[in-house]
Structure 1
């Protein structure tokens, strides 16, 4: 039987890093990963491939009739029978209960797969910001968690970590909270099925309030070259208006393309090999109508840098 698990969490919480940690374990030589991207361009699949995962990536996921389904690529992994585990890493804005229902009701998956615990990843350093600006999205995910990975513990004080743990327990007392740094969750706990006949909470719990507001996204694209990524990063961190949950992608720098990932107040330059021109996905609430403004700001910064170096 194939073991099937859902890994989710709000945008930028470290889902992909955690998934890479899980599949790099010595006992996980054959793992299929279905990677969902909310934007129309994908960046995380290549990172998982680099860790040895067999990846099927889908873009433009989300909610509603236009959202692409996780069912078909998941069923393909299970039906082929070439991997012992399938991890479904959702885009972070997906309605998890709907994904769980689709998977549960599929006859192929139902007869050939056993369900592992649903893992929800939190960013400890950004928890307050997420709770302030994206609370419906955050808590809708925590409602269906079997395991909560409180990630990026280096970005929060011990008192804050304990506060997060208490709040999670108050909302979902069934969930097991695990602290981790850089996605280094305890593998045996994360990958094991707790007991015979276990049914993930995502298949039992339902979000009882109104559905959280839908996220919006666009991809900033340019062939311009960045000559000072520190100043460009400053622009990314200080874009005006709206609620940006995450930005991630590729920045074409003078010394080669760089992988960029962050949210307001937090910017990471990753070591993942990337190539091509600049393409950065912006995801958040109230993003519709802001593409032209953000594009103008970033274009102006790159043009200023080009002028300064005389290129």
Structure 2
């Protein structure tokens, strides 16, 4: 790549647990020889997504190519964190062929796309496309609307309705900014549910935006990369509920990290997590667990009351075998009560 060629960047957004990390992991493993650099931005300071991706050990994207920004969302810290990170990638003798930015599941994509218009970035990087990942079962279950039936009735009566749910607003901002929408976990929807979700989502998209279905984040890199949208040039058509505002969605969400006693049983752990999720309205749980009697690290990820877990690698000799989770919910989450219950 010559210095005069702009490096394409893909922004991958989508609500908590939609499958962004799985999508990126599959992309790394099927990059067709492209050298990728990843910028991972998480809500909460445990860095689960970055750790999971570092564990994949692929030559297309080495550990040095993965940069984590876990101390605040990119759109809050453009000057302090994001621009220096981009600059450090551009200053490398072996510049990446493509930059992938995974936003926090609570992030508004539009301020991030706007950051690519900064003079020191604009001449060297272009936003190839904004990809929004949707959790199919969560969409079906109405997670993105505080009262989905009422919201739907209001929407049909008034296209300019005010939404009560921050999740609904955030969801709309993410799909309004997209150049490609992926309905992920489509294998978990039956045929009528899949048809309904596809039709409803397609009706909300700009005509030029493509909608594709996927399972486990498996999408051909040729579909994800090379969209050529130059999204930084047409921000006006990417409508946001927060246009013209300085504050944004993070005021609506709380997160905290807690340490657990190392469990002896996966089943007991999952049961306890499900109880906490249901009792306290937790939106997302993710972290690493040191299971007694096991040399492998257990990754735990929960969206709503669906909890996934798998062993990803052996514990390193220099890291403590401790169990830590990030817990995320809407504002007012009772961190003390959740911590007492899960640590008890």
Does TM, normalized by the shorter one, top 0.5? yes
Alignment of 1:1-311 (within 5 A): 1=5, 2-51=7-56, 52=58, 53=61, 54-62=65-73, 69-80=81-92, 82-105=95-118, 107-127=119-139, 128-133=141-146, 134-173=167-206, 174-194=208-228, 204-208=237-241, 211-212=248-249, 214-222=252-260, 224-239=261-276, 240-256=278-294, 257-273=297-313, 275=315, 276-288=321-333, 290-300=334-344
Worse overlay, 210-219 or 65-74: 65-74
1:112-169 Cα deviation digits (max 9, x unpaired): 1232111001111111242234222212211101111111112111221222222222
Taking structure 1 as reference, are residues 79 and 202 closer, same or farther at Cα in structure 2, changes over 3 Å only?
Answer: farther
Structure 1 residue runs without a partner (length 5+): 301-311
The 8 Å contact of residues 35 and 97 in structure 2, kept in 1 or not, is answered as: yes
Taking structure 1 as reference, are residues 64 and 22 closer, same or farther at Cα in structure 2, changes over 3 Å only?
Answer: closer
CA distance in 2, matches of 1:18, 1:254: 31
1:20 Cα offset (Å): 1.1
The 8 Å contact of residues 34 and 98 in structure 2, kept in 1 or not, is answered as: no
Aligned pairs, number: 296
Taking structure 1 as reference, are residues 263 and 232 closer, same or farther at Cα in structure 2, changes over 3 Å only?
Answer: same
Worse overlay, 16-25 or 157-166: 157-166
CA RMSD of aligned residues (A): 2.4
Taking structure 1 as reference, are residues 26 and 205 closer, same or farther at Cα in structure 2, changes over 3 Å only?
Answer: closer
CA distance in 1, matches of 2:199, 2:233: 21
CA distance in 2, matches of 1:64, 1:114: 17
CA distance in 2, matches of 1:82, 1:34: 14
Taking structure 1 as reference, are residues 242 and 287 closer, same or farther at Cα in structure 2, changes over 3 Å only?
Answer: farther
TM-score, length basis structure 1:
0.86
CA distance in 1, matches of 2:227, 2:209: 14
CA distance in 2, matches of 1:69, 1:214: 23
CA distance in 1, matches of 2:197, 2:182: 11
TM-score, length basis structure 2:
0.79
Taking structure 1 as reference, are residues 69 and 217 closer, same or farther at Cα in structure 2, changes over 3 Å only?
Answer: same
1:226 Cα offset (Å): 0.4
Structure 2 residue runs without a partner (length 5+): 147-166, 316-320
CA distance in 1, matches of 2:199, 2:222: 23
Taking structure 1 as reference, are residues 40 and 125 closer, same or farther at Cα in structure 2, changes over 3 Å only?
Answer: same
1:49 Cα offset (Å): 2.3
CA distance in 2, matches of 1:13, 1:104: 28
1:28 Cα offset (Å): 3.8
